[in-house]
Amino acid sequence: MLDTPTVRGSGFSTVEANTRNGSSTLAVQGYEYTGSIAEFITFGGMFEYEHTSTLAFGAGSAELSARIYLLSSTVDIAALLPCVMPQFCLPPGDILGVEIAEPMEPATTGVTSIPLQLGFFVNPGDRFYVAATIQTFGNRGGFADASNSLVTFLDAAPEVLAALSPATRVTDPVIDIKPGSHSNSFNPDSQGVVPVAILTTSTGAGDTLDFDATHVDPLTVQFGPDGAMEAHGRGHVKDVDGDGDLDLVLHFETRQTGIACGNIEASVAGITFAGEDIEGTDSIRTVGC
């Protein structure tokens, strides 16, 4: 089994979700093949379903649907997240392969499992995404209450696995500490929160980087030497620099940042929903010292 991060939930080797009538669970990871020759690899998943109850109208019952997708490296993960199912969200050209399990009607008690695998060739330098989905839905007029878990694994030779690494890169977006303030004054002893914006930028507008800040997972962002997390457990989007696009605004408790008197800059680090690392820095001026 290859443990990898997920765009939904915490951890990927087991992604669990309570679902009702069409609700789905999605896991997706980007990869880069660094081997020197073409190879055939197999991604597989074990989809487990436990049927807990059915709130039926007429003869309603529950069904389980499982799929594994091979997706283009250019896929817009942010477009995939809201609807979860790639076939409904992405252009046909972004879906390079798919294996679909036959819908099944599980027993009313106990755990039902179904294996599913997708095999394909990779060439040196190939970058791609692999996504897996599991969906519970009610049929014949029924609503399904269920508990799902999803496990993925790789089935390939060790040398292939060694060359098949999660694709990571670090992007340096523009950070604005205390948006609207030019001095960015920072009192390390303050008992309040400090706002930090991650800006959306475009080379078409003269910026040095094409970056969509709304693609950043706010729950992964840390601020300051001590890695303070978002104080409210979420971020919000707002055009803080007046350029017509949406930026991501986060708040951090000042005393949890670890920023000390005399510091002249502070940084944030986080991960996008596509698994891409980000790091950004802005200047500050400490006061009250």
In this structure, what CATH number is given to the domain that contains residue 25? 2.60.120
CA dist 256 → 38, 69, 277 (Å): 49, 41, 22
Q: Are both 67 and 197 inside the same structural domain?
A: no
- Please indicate, yes or no, if residue 5 is contained in any of the structural domains: no
At residue 11, the pLDDT reads 23
- Please indicate, yes or no, if residue 9 is contained in any of the structural domains: no
Amino acid letter for position 14? T
pLDDT at 78 over 80: no
273's tokens? 């929903």
The residue from 166, 196, 223 where one domain ends is 166
Q: Are both 64 and 196 inside the same structural domain?
A: no
At residue 17, the pLDDT reads 32
- Please indicate, yes or no, if residue 184 is contained in any of the structural domains: yes
- Please indicate, yes or no, if residue 2 is contained in any of the structural domains: no
pLDDT at 77 over 90: no
- Please indicate, yes or no, if residue 230 is contained in any of the structural domains: yes
- Rounded Cα gap, residues 222 and 225, in angstroms: 9
- Please indicate, yes or no, if residue 244 is contained in any of the structural domains: yes
Residue 140 pLDDT class (50, 70, 90 cuts): low
Residue 209 pLDDT class (50, 70, 90 cuts): confident
What percent of the chain shows pLDDT beyond 70? 71
Structural domain of 21: 15-166
Q: Are both 253 and 220 inside the same structural domain?
A: yes
Q: Are both 160 and 198 inside the same structural domain?
A: no
> Can you name the residues that pair with 142 across neighbouring β-strands?
56
Place of tokens 């708040």: 251
Q: Are both 79 and 37 inside the same structural domain?
A: yes
What percent of the chain shows pLDDT beyond 90? 29
Global pTM reads 0.53
**What is the pLDDT averaged over residues 93-118?**
75
Handedness of CA 129, 79, 100, 133 (dihedral sign): positive
- Please indicate, yes or no, if residue 4 is contained in any of the structural domains: no
Q: Are both 133 and 199 inside the same structural domain?
A: no
Q: Which helix (H) or strand (E) holds 66?
A: strand 61-72
Q: Are both 146 and 213 inside the same structural domain?
A: no
pLDDT at 1 over 90: no
**What is the pLDDT averaged over residues 105-130?**
76
Find the range with the poorest average confidence among 33-47, 93-107, 184-198: 93-107
The residue from 147, 166, 185 where one domain ends is 166
Find the range with the poorest average confidence among 154-158, 184-188, 203-207, 229-233: 154-158
Counted domains in the chain: 2
- Please indicate, yes or no, if residue 150 is contained in any of the structural domains: yes
Q: Are both 65 and 144 inside the same structural domain?
A: yes
Q: Are both 78 and 117 inside the same structural domain?
A: yes
**What is the pLDDT averaged over residues 223-227?**
93
Q: Are both 235 and 137 inside the same structural domain?
A: no
Q: Are both 72 and 48 inside the same structural domain?
A: yes
At residue 13, the pLDDT reads 26
Instruction: Output the domain CATH number for residue 217.
Output: 2.60.40
Task: Write the secondary structure of the chain as one string of H (helix), E (strand) and C (coil).
Answer: CCCCCCCCCCCCCCEEEEEECCCEEEEEEEEEECCCCCEEEEEEEEEEEEEEEEEECCCCEEEEEEEEEEEECCCCHHHHCCCCCHHHHCCHHHEEEEEECCCECCCCCCEEEEEEEEEEEECCCCEEEEEEEEEEEEECCEEEEEEEEEEEEEECCHHHHHHEEECCCEECCCEEECCCCCCCEECCCCCCEEEEEECCECHHHCCCCCECHHHECHHHCEECCCCEECCCCCCEEECCCCCCCCEEEEEEEHHHCCCCCCCCEEEEEEEECCCCEEEEEEECEECCC
CA 89 and chain centroid, separation: 16
Q: Are both 72 and 202 inside the same structural domain?
A: no
pLDDT at 225 over 70: yes
Residue 142 pLDDT class (50, 70, 90 cuts): low
